[in-house]
């Protein structure tokens, strides 16, 4: 817990970006500190291999990371677990045939895409992102996983904006390392 309090103290808070009247929470200071970054990744890997989580004992086949800040964490966690990494990108960025999902988030709407053959039916998947606000982005990623026959075991976030209740939109358990209450 001491480790998490330290990571919490490193978070940046910005009121001038992206100028939409929200407090923008920024994980980059954690990534600039190699010890803190290692703590964060190790915490997630311990969480995913812990006996206390509902999906304990199930093999994780795929880590899905969300454009863009989920790309900073997902591949590292995937490598530590020996799982595949699959990106979900904003519309028009991925080559080949893609599946898409439209969604609403804290500051506007967007479209997510995943390559159509990225997840084999029956694969166990964990979604990773820096932050959950309204849950629109993560829920759209969950839709894309379902469209391919994947099974989402859990959603993982560094930060959860609890007051927006985004986890209620999700079709599986969700874990935020740091909960922000207001």
Ligand X SMILES: Nc1ncnc2[nH]cnc12
Ligand Y SMILES: O=P(O)(O)OC[C@H]1O[C@H](OP(=O)(O)OP(=O)(O)O)[C@H](O)[C@@H]1O
Does position 3 interact with ligand Y (CB under 6 A)? The reply is no
Specify whether 59 is catalytic: no
Smallest separation (angstroms) from ligand X to the CB of 149:
29
Query: Is there binding between residue 129 and ligand Y (CB under 6 A)?
Result: yes
| Residue in 69, 89, 113, 154 annotated catalytic | 69
Q: Provide CB contacts within 8 A for 125, sequence distance 6+.
A: 60, 61, 62, 63, 64, 86, 119, 145, 150, 151, 152, 153
**CB of 14 or CB of 120, closer to ligand Y:** 14
Q: Is 113 in the site for ligand Y (CB under 6 A)?
A: no
Joined together, the tokens standing for residue 88 give 């979900």
Are 134 and 49 in contact by the 8 Å Cβ rule? The answer is no
Smaller CB separation from ligand X, 23 or 102: 23
State the nearest-atom distance from the C-beta of 161 to ligand Y, in Å: 8
Collapsing DSSP to helix, strand or coil, 100 comes out as strand
Instruction: Give yes or no: 38 in active site.
Output: no
Omega cis (within 30) before 71? no
- Active-site residues: which are they? 69, 106
């Amino acid at each position: 817990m001491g480790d998490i309090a330290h990571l919490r103290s490193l978070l940046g808070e910005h009121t001038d970006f992206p100028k939409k009247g929200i407090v923008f929470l920024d994980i980059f200071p954690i990534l600039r500190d190699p010890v803190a970054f290692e703590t964060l990744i190790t915490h997630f890997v311990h969480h995913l291999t812990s006996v206390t989580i509902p999906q304990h004992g199930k093999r994780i086949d795929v880590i899905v990371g969300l454009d863009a800040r989920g790309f900073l964490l997902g591949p590292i966690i995937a490598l530590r677990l020996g799982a595949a990494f699959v990106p979900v990108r904003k519309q028009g960025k991925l080559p080949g045939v893609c599946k898409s999902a439209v969604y609403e988030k804290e500051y506007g709407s967007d479209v997510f895409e995943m390559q159509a053959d990225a997840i084999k039916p029956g694969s166990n998947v964990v979604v990773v992102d820096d932050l959950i606000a309204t849950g629109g982005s993560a829920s759209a990623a969950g839709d894309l996983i379902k469209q391919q026959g994947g099974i989402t075991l859990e959603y993982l976030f560094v930060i959860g904006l609890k007051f927006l209740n985004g986890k209620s939109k999700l079709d599986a358990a969700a874990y935020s390392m740091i909960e922000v209450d207001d």
